[in-house]
Amino acid sequence: MSEGNIFSVSKESRRFSPSDEFRAAARVKSREEYEALHRRSIDDPEGFWLEQAAQLPWFKAPTKALSWAEPHAKWFEDGVLNASVACLDRFQGTPTWQKAALIWEGEPIGNDGEPEVVTLTYAQLHARVCKLAAKLRNLGVHAGDRVAIYLGMVPEAVVAMLACARIGAVHTVVFGGFAAEALRDRIQDCGAVALITQDMSYRRGGEVKLFEAARAAASQCPTLRSVIVHLRKRENAALDDDAFARAFALEQTVVRLTSANDLPPTREHAAPAEVPAEHPLFVLYTSGSTGKPKGVLHSTAGFLLQTQLSTRYVFDLKEDDLYFCTADVGWITGHSYITYGPLQCGVTCLMFEGAPNYPKPDRLWEIVERHHATVLYTAPTAIRAFIRTGEEWPKKHDLSSLRLLGTVGEPINPEAWLWYHRVIGGERCPIVDTWWQTETGSIAITTLPGAVDAKPGSAGLPMFGYAPRIVAEDGTEVARNTGGKLILAGPWPSMLRTVWGDDERYKAQYWSEVPHVYTTGDGARQDEDGYFWIVGRIDDVLNVAGHRIGTAEVESAMVSHPAVAEAAAVGRPDDLKGQALVVFVTLKGGHEPDDAMRARLLDHVAKEIGKFARPDGLRFAAALPKTRSGKIMRRLLKDLAAGRETKGDTTTLEDLGVLAALRGAEE
């Protein structure tokens, strides 16, 4: 790819073609080839997916692809398999078995100037998974039981997920940035029987006290019987079992993840559970339009198959690739594109514990250079942060090992795309933008590298099995280049199956806004070439630095503070984070709207949800603008937060004086 491939100077229509060399070696080499595959996946899903299903190591192969009773799908229903076998055991006896599955780099830099690096081959990862699986079984965890995982970015997070999968337990990973209250709510919602956590993790030179939060949460979770602790800190790792028990005394049984006394697991205890295709694999909580997070449930075979297929095609993986995904295992990207997708492909996955700009702004580039990463998958927010610190930082490093770049999580602005392409990709690497959601389980829209041109800022074309469309308010399809709601027609293998414990919410949230199709909550348009351009969320969910945050969640955290009468959270455009979070607050009588109160309330949200959800701005207001029926007029608040003139209709506003007063308020 080179600047010579730019067909037009107009920002919206610049196109970048893969080089002939990249194309020649790519898995899919032309748009025609891509279209033929995609068309078949939509026109003959039964044939296409049954054929693809041969990619999974079944104990019993399925005879049927799909049973669809809208909005409930069952894929490969009569097949029997195990997810940890699909990621590990399948490679036994092949050269992959002795190849690195994970290369992990810790954040702290040692006295010798080097970070800690741990490499686990597929065989070693398998051994660790078997050990933990046996331990879980010994603790009485059964197939179908839920196990919460609250860890930092350590290899043990991957081990923990796969150990759960091995015994048929359902994991729910809770992002390590969540606070004790958020962890407690998630454990309680799914009734987890065990929690896998760690003493602490390193982040930006500080210590994240995971165990303290875990202890606070665990003491309020009656379903939790056991807590397994991974000891990350060298001093703690040296604790003998008695000292360990004293240090971590809890009501529940507490054991260490690995201890010198561990016996190798027996064959029986480490054996993979043979589960049906639709057996639940994991629950991952995500923000929605109410204060209560939704437990998105994914099942086994469909999720495995579509993550495997997309990892292979989107990242165009080859035997010797070193794939580096900077997402946290606590989010869906860490599930689909650190653990399940890459391991099923037998690739080597690089995992980093810390912040990409710690201790210096070139940490990420140092990692790429040290390990010779070939594929890098990161978020636009990170790219914008790198742009800010200046291109002299990546320029210090040899990034010539990179051959493909990816982005995920939020729309990428063309400027960031072009910088990524020029400075990081050396104008040589194709960039795959990837649009998808916790709910879709796998990449739904992308620019398959080698097959199609990229247009900076556009997510691209549908992946196999996905049928996105743009519809108007009334559900009818709109013309090309007209904005509307992004929907997905029909079921796909890695789709969510339901919301944990709340099937009504599943139906209402995703399958009723527009009849007979899945509503994504995003706004988008499709251009004349069929490319999708994502505008962003059009529901009550914000995307702050690639993190999904429900406005209702922030509001309910805010009003749980005794001084707060009412709160409304809205997004405001932000150069770095995409969107920033601003909260409007009215206080109860007797409380002063001063800076001390502002700081207290912001800290309160950080404590209730997690630091990443701490609002960027807070405005006190004597009253919030409401319609005559009492609904907060968020549209007006959004305009105010963005410093825009309030546009549009204010005739339903109950009291125009409220608006005037808010205009004068400061953050």
| Burial grade of 616 (CB within 10 A; 0-12, 13-18, 19 or more) | middle
SS3 (DSSP) at 283: strand
Residue of 463, 530, 426, 94 whose CA lies nearest to 315: 463
The answer to whether 407 and 379 have CB atoms below 8 angstroms apart is yes
Q: Is 326 a binder of ligand WTA (CB under 6 A)?
A: no
Q: Is 310 a binder of ligand WTA (CB under 6 A)?
A: no
**Dihedrals φ, ψ of 473, to 5°?**
-45, -40
Select from 543, 551, 579, 646 the one that contacts ligand WTA (CB under 6 A): 543
Q: How far is the CB of 32 from ligand WTA (least distance, A)?
A: 25
Q: Is 518 a binder of ligand WTA (CB under 6 A)?
A: no
DSSP state for residue 423 in the 8-state scheme: I
Q: How far is the CB of 136 from ligand WTA (least distance, A)?
A: 28
Residue of 441, 442, 438, 421 whose CA lies nearest to 430: 421
Contacts with ligand WTA in 333-392 (CB under 6 A)? 333
Q: Is 513 a binder of ligand WTA (CB under 6 A)?
A: no
Among the listed ranges 87-95, 215-223, 346-354, 535-543, the one in contact with ligand WTA (CB under 6 A) is 535-543
Q: Is 608 a binder of ligand WTA (CB under 6 A)?
A: no
Among the listed ranges 47-55, 71-79, 315-323, 531-539, the one in contact with ligand WTA (CB under 6 A) is 531-539
**Among residues 247 and 538, whose Cβ is nearest to ligand WTA?**
538
Which residues 6+ apart lie within 8 Å of 240 measured at CB? none
**Among residues 128 and 572, whose Cβ is nearest to ligand WTA?**
572
**Among residues 286 and 646, whose Cβ is nearest to ligand WTA?**
286
Q: Is 433 a binder of ligand WTA (CB under 6 A)?
A: yes
Nearest-10 crossing angle of helices 210-218, 180-190: 50
Size of the site for ligand WTA (CB under 6 A): 23
**Dihedrals φ, ψ of 216, to 5°?**
-60, -40
Q: How far is the CB of 440 from ligand WTA (least distance, A)?
A: 8
Measured from the Cβ of residue 29, the count of other Cβ atoms closer than 10 Å reads 16
Q: Is 306 a binder of ligand WTA (CB under 6 A)?
A: no
Q: How far is the CB of 13 from ligand WTA (least distance, A)?
A: 18
Q: Is 498 a binder of ligand WTA (CB under 6 A)?
A: no
Q: Is 459 a binder of ligand WTA (CB under 6 A)?
A: yes
Q: How far is the CB of 412 from ligand WTA (least distance, A)?
A: 7
Select from 128, 537, 561, 577 the one that contacts ligand WTA (CB under 6 A): 537
**Among residues 295 and 411, whose Cβ is nearest to ligand WTA?**
411
Residue of 259, 172, 265 whose CA lies nearest to 223: 172
Q: Is 455 a binder of ligand WTA (CB under 6 A)?
A: no
The answer to whether 138 and 149 have CB atoms below 8 angstroms apart is no
Contact mark string toward ligand WTA, 467..496, x via CB under 6 A: ------------------------------
**Rg of the Cα atoms in the chain:** 25
Tokens standing for 610? 């997690």
- CA angle (529 as vertex; 523, 532 as ends), nearest 5: 20
Residue of 105, 67, 63, 59 whose CA lies nearest to 83: 59
For the chain, helix, strand, coil in percent to 5 are 35, 25, 40
**Among residues 58 and 466, whose Cβ is nearest to ligand WTA?**
466
In whole angstroms, give the CA distance from residue 423 to residue 387. 9
Select from 270, 408, 461, 581 the one that contacts ligand WTA (CB under 6 A): 408
Measured from the Cβ of residue 301, the count of other Cβ atoms closer than 10 Å reads 28
The answer to whether 181 and 212 have CB atoms below 8 angstroms apart is no
**Dihedrals φ, ψ of 201, to 5°?**
-135, 160
Q: Is 410 a binder of ligand WTA (CB under 6 A)?
A: yes
SS3 (DSSP) at 197: strand
In whole angstroms, give the CA distance from residue 410 to residue 431. 15
Q: Is 411 a binder of ligand WTA (CB under 6 A)?
A: yes
Q: Which residue is nearest to ligand WTA (CB)?
A: 438
**Among residues 371 and 485, whose Cβ is nearest to ligand WTA?**
485
In whole angstroms, give the CA distance from residue 579 to residue 410. 10
Q: Is 437 a binder of ligand WTA (CB under 6 A)?
A: yes
Select from 34, 91, 150, 331 the one that contacts ligand WTA (CB under 6 A): 331
Q: Is 438 a binder of ligand WTA (CB under 6 A)?
A: yes
The answer to whether 76 and 324 have CB atoms below 8 angstroms apart is no
**Among residues 41 and 287, whose Cβ is nearest to ligand WTA?**
287
Q: How far is the CB of 330 from ligand WTA (least distance, A)?
A: 10
**Among residues 277 and 383, whose Cβ is nearest to ligand WTA?**
383
* Residues contributing to the site for ligand WTA (CB under 6 A): 286, 331-333, 408-411, 433-438, 459, 520-522, 534, 536-537, 543, 548
